[in-house]
Amino acid sequence: MKSILCTSLLILLMPSAYAASLPGDSAEGKRLLNAHCMECHQTDIFTRKDRKVQSLDALKEQLVSCSHAAKVEFSASEMQDLLKYLNDQFYHFQ
């Protein structure tokens, strides 16, 4: 019984452990989002039930698309910061 409980706990903790392991600075990602993205988006776009983004790869693609549309050139580390923040706060992809 104890081993089943431990195994179940490990399985439940895996997604959050992976999300925490994404490289990047979540606080910097939040700053970048507020500075560059909130003119076009409110946070409800990230939480709506019919959201377009359904995977981590799709989130990466959307960040690239939005940066082109906003005519903002993010560095690779800034893109990673945004990805980390969005995933940590809203998406929770593995």
Q: What is the pLDDT of residue 1?
A: 53
> How far apart are alpha carbons 42 and 14 in whole angstroms?
29
**Coil, helix or strand at residue 35:** helix
Whether 25 contacts 84, CB under 8 Å: yes
User: Which candidate, 80, 94, 91, 85, places its Cα nearest to that of 38?
Assistant: 85
Say how many domains are in the chain.
1
Q: By CB neighbour count within 10 A (0-12 exposed, 13-18 middle, 19+ buried), where does 17 fall?
A: exposed
State how far Cα 23 lies from the chain centre. 11
Contact residues for 48 (Cβ-Cβ < 8 A; gap 6+): none
Written as tens digits, the pLDDT of the chain (94 aa) is 554 443 433 444 444 444 457 999 999 999 999 999 988 888 888 888 888 899 999 999 999 999 999 899 999 999 999 999 999 999 999 8
Q: What residues make up the domain containing 58?
A: 2-91
pLDDT of residue 2: 53
